[in-house]
Amino acid sequence: MSYQEAILMIIATEGQATATRAFDIELWKESPNDPDRDSDSLLATFTDDLVETTETTRR
């Protein structure tokens, strides 16, 4: 999971950070151990893991 070494900006766009209904995610800096990884793939993996962990749905 190379996103764990990347720098991501996560912004709650609807609701509070602990109970958000929507958020934006930006990749600020790629992982130093996987700098050639496709950014769309990295963000998709992170988003999938976040949705699964928080037991929510993706719109």
| Confidence grade of residue 1 (pLDDT, cut at 50, 70, 90) | low
Inside any domain, residue 59: no
Predicted structure pTM score? 0.73
Q: Give the range of the structural domain holding residue 11, as residue numbers without chain letter.
A: 2-54
The pLDDT of residue 36 is 87
Angle at 9 between CA 7 and CA 11, to 5 degrees: 165
Digit-coded pLDDT (tens) for 4-56: 888 999 888 888 777 777 888 899 998 888 888 888 999 999 888 888 887 77
Q: What is the dihedral of CA 17, 48, 59, 41, to 10 degrees?
A: 110
Domains in the chain, number: 1
DSSP assignment letter at 39: H
Inside any domain, residue 16: yes
The pLDDT of residue 28 is 92
